[in-house]
């Protein structure tokens, strides 16, 4: 696949699934994006998320941390009656994520346009 074909693919495809957009906008793997999609507004423990996606707890915990680091998920701490605590994860609001993606798109457009207008190589004489 040539660079021209890749660019046509990038700019020519419509987005039909949120996973692809999340992967592109936040630089996360598809498996991490799928974890995001099972999160809800209701906080869930790691074990519940792991059961929903049929993955090992340690893998899910690592993916959840990546979502938190990218501001896609929020981690809360709940104290347990017998002592100790438990982390709960919930999806960040759709509006917050939408604004983050739109900001990134605006920045990309501005920087790409600037590059093409100011820096793009002149034709070889």
Asked whether residue 76 is assigned to any structural domain, the reply reads: yes
For residue 65, give the CATH number of its domain.
Answer: 1.10.10.10
Hey, how many other C-beta atoms are within 10 angstroms of the C-beta on 103?
11
pTM: 0.78
C-alpha closest to that of 22 among 6, 5, 39, 8: 39
Asked whether residue 64 is assigned to any structural domain, the reply reads: yes
Give residue 33's pLDDT. 93
pLDDT band at 7 (very low <50, low <70, confident <90, very high): low
Alpha-carbon distance of 82 to 79, in angstroms, equals: 9
Asked whether residue 97 is assigned to any structural domain, the reply reads: no
Asked whether residue 46 is assigned to any structural domain, the reply reads: yes
Asked whether residue 75 is assigned to any structural domain, the reply reads: yes
Query: Is it the case that residue 90 has pLDDT exceeding 80?
Result: yes
**Segments forming the whole domain that contains residue 62:** 17-92
Task: Give the DSSP per-residue string, 50-88.
Answer: HHHHT--HHHHHHHHHHHHHTTSEEEEEEE-TTSSEEEE
Asked whether residue 50 is assigned to any structural domain, the reply reads: yes
Query: Is it the case that residue 75 has pLDDT exceeding 90?
Result: yes
Contact 65, 79 (CB under 8 A): no
pLDDT tens digits, 48-67:
999 999 999 999 999 999 99
Number of domains in the chain: 1
């Amino acid at each position: 696949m040539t660079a021209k074909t890749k660019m046509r693919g990038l700019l020519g495809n419509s987005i039909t699934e949120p996973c692809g957009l999340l992967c592109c906008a936040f630089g996360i793997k598809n498996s991490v994006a799928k974890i995001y999609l099972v999160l809800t507004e209701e906080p869930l423990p790691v074990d519940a998320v792991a059961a929903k996606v049929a993955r090992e707890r340690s893998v899910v915990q690592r993916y959840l941390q990546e979502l938190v680091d990218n501001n896609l998920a929020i981690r809360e701490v709940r104290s347990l009656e017998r002592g100790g605590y438990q982390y709960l994860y919930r999806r960040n609001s759709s509006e917050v994520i939408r604004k983050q993606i739109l900001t990134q798109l605006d920045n990309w457009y501005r920087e790409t346009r600037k590059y093409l207008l100011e820096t793009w190589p002149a034709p070889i004489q």
